[in-house]
Amino acid sequence: MSSLAVQRLESLLQTRKLDNTLAHRPASAPAVLSSGLDALDRQLGGGWPQGEVSELIGRQSSGCSGVLLATMAAATRRGGLVGLVDTFDRFDPVTAARSGLDLDRVLWVRGLASPLSHSAVLNGIRALDLILRAGGFAVAALDVLDAPARAISALPFTTWLRLAHANEGRETVCLLMGAAAMGRSARGRSVRLAGQRRWSGAHPRSRRFLGFTPTVDVV
């Protein structure tokens, strides 16, 4: 049985519509949306949970952008709309179209500020919040992969609670993509990717770089 203090806290959170931040065990699993990658879907338990905030975590060349692109392409193939907040103008529409993304079904919010600008991250989060509250999107994504760690760590934790609350009960998959963990919701997923270098040749003088092999860890 909960203590009186816990009951008062839950009542206060419910009054302020923040009760979804409590670690209650869900009555049923949320609906999911395919990532577009069968192997990742199996690790995710079917796909990204809808109505939740999930994360793609990794550095440059780790495969994060490829996973995000595959997820958005899978959503548009099913007739869904996608909202992408491209904080530092990294998105390449030509490559995306060749990968199967229907650009006619994409809301592309371009940011033109320097990665060193703290306001760029704040503006990106505000844009994502507006997309979530507008509704009707299968995927709403925020790319802050180039943001310095201090710009993310300086944000108050309530930043992510507001996003989780905005997406609660919707059929939208909210994805945050960055170099470090930010703030997934209670039933969201954190997918960490790392790129392992591949080389050919046994001798140092004959070795050639073949690319990266991504490794995936799902939380």
Q: What is the pLDDT of residue 15?
A: 61
Average pLDDT, stretch 108-137? 90
The residue type of 155 is L
Name which of 61, 63, 59, 36 is nearest 47 in CA terms: 36
- Each residue of 43-102: pLDDT tens digit? 999 999 999 999 999 988 788 999 999 999 999 999 999 999 999 999 999 999 999 999
- Each residue of 166-216: pLDDT tens digit? 999 999 999 999 999 999 999 999 999 986 655 576 766 667 654 556 578
Average pLDDT, stretch 19-40? 73
What are the distances in angstroms from CA 108 to CA 36, 44, 62, 153? 20, 26, 23, 26
| Ordered domains of the chain (ranges, CATH) | 31-218 (3.40.50.300)
DSSP β-bridge partners for residue 216: 193
Q: Beta strand 32-33 with 53-57: parallel, antiparallel or unpaired?
A: unpaired
* 164 class by beta-carbon count within 10 Å (0-12 exposed, 13-18 middle, 19+ buried): buried
